[in-house]
Amino acid sequence: MPVKLTSYFLLLFALPWVAIWAQEDQMAKVKGGVYTPLYGADSTAVGVSDFYMDLYPVTNSEYLAFVNDHPEWKKSRVKKLFADGLYLRNWESDTKLGKKVVPNAPVTNVSWFAAKKYCECQGKRLPTMDEWEFAARADETMADARNKPGYNKYILGWYEAPHTFKNPIGSTFKNYYGIYDLHGLVWEWTSDFNSVLLSGESRKGNDEDANLFCGSAAIGATDLMNYAAFMRYAFRASIKANYTVQNLGFRCAKNVIDNKGEQELSFNSMK
């Protein structure tokens, strides 16, 4: 009886960990905190909980494996409602990347629906915009490098550089959290990419001009010097969930709280 209990205990204790290791292998833990986004409902500080984020954007070969497992996301079979006509545009065929595509470069020309599905199939999810922005404030050495002159310059530099989507993952810097390529390769989908500026947001009503053009973009922004963030928010505002864009890829994230909760739960139930 004691033996059995021990093995039961071990099993319960070990299983979640195995699962966690398998999934969080290529992820970094980002310790949450409070930050002020460029735009927000009230432009005040936002709390971000701890979360895991993929070290790299999802690559073409990884996405190819996903498509093979889930044929409904093949180029020829995807529903137009979920991905526009440019979906996987550079791929040679449904199951072949072809010469134009670098296998370990980020997958691009994928829609929000596709990216969301991919992450779900990995037991993950897309990061929220706040999570993404929170992690992307980091440079190599600091969690928040936004006030360093070099930080903005670096990002603006790659926004101007053409064809970076063809570069392999890991070819830019490793940031404070150990995450690569948040700046320097491709734009990335977030789960709530359209929450800030789309006028469909009914709670906002019509009293506020939330469009990102001309001077009005400066109204309601918290940091007028953060041109790089302006460009990201502008980009997000220009896309819809079925759009697929050559410079737009994604990576996945995962909650920390839930796992911890599970562990604690299983641990407590043993006591």
User: Which amino acid would we find at residue 10?
Assistant: L
Q: Is 47 in the site for other proteins (CB under 8 A)?
A: no
Q: Which of 104, 152, 194, 263 binds other proteins (CB under 8 A)?
A: 152
Rounded least distance, CB 154 to other proteins, Å: 10
Chain residues 178-207 in contact with other proteins, contact rule CB under 8 A? 187
Rounded least distance, CB 84 to other proteins, Å: 8
Rounded least distance, CB 41 to other proteins, Å: 18
Q: Which of 25, 69, 140, 160 binds other proteins (CB under 8 A)?
A: 160
Q: Is 102 in the site for other proteins (CB under 8 A)?
A: no
Q: Is 27 helix (H, G, I), strand (E, B) or coil?
A: strand
Span from 14-22, 48-56, 228-236, 250-258 in contact with other proteins (CB under 8 A): 228-236
78 phi-psi bin (left φ>0, alpha ψ -120 to 50, beta other)? beta
Q: Is 245 in the site for other proteins (CB under 8 A)?
A: yes
Exposure class string for 88-106: b at 16+ Cβ within 10 A, else e: bebbeebeebeeebbeebb
Q: Is 157 in the site for other proteins (CB under 8 A)?
A: yes
Cα–Cα distances in angstroms (integers) from residue 112 to residues 136, 172, 214, 246, in the given order:
20, 24, 27, 13
Strands 46-48 vs 33-35: parallel, antiparallel or unpaired? antiparallel
Rounded least distance, CB 188 to other proteins, Å: 13
Q: Is 43 in the site for other proteins (CB under 8 A)?
A: no
Pick the closest to residue 114 from 271, 269, 252, 270 (CA basis).
Answer: 252
Binding-site string for other proteins from residue 2 to residue 41, where x marks contact by CB under 8 A and - marks none: ----------------------------------------
Query: Nearest 5 degrees, angle CA 119-CA 121-CA 122?
Result: 65
Q: Is 234 in the site for other proteins (CB under 8 A)?
A: yes
Pick the closest to residue 125 from 32, 212, 189 (CA basis).
Answer: 189
Q: Which of 246, 255, 263, 266 binds other proteins (CB under 8 A)?
A: 246
Residue 172 or 263: the one with the smaller Cβ distance to other proteins is 172
First-to-final CA distance of the chain:
16
Strands 248-249 vs 187-188: parallel, antiparallel or unpaired? parallel
Cα–Cα distances in angstroms (integers) from residue 31 to residues 99, 123, 153, 255, in the given order:
40, 20, 26, 11
Q: Is 231 in the site for other proteins (CB under 8 A)?
A: yes
Q: Is 163 in the site for other proteins (CB under 8 A)?
A: yes
- List contacts with other proteins (CB under 8 A): 86, 89, 149, 152-153, 156-157, 159-163, 187, 211-215, 217-218, 227, 230-231, 233-235, 237-239, 243-247
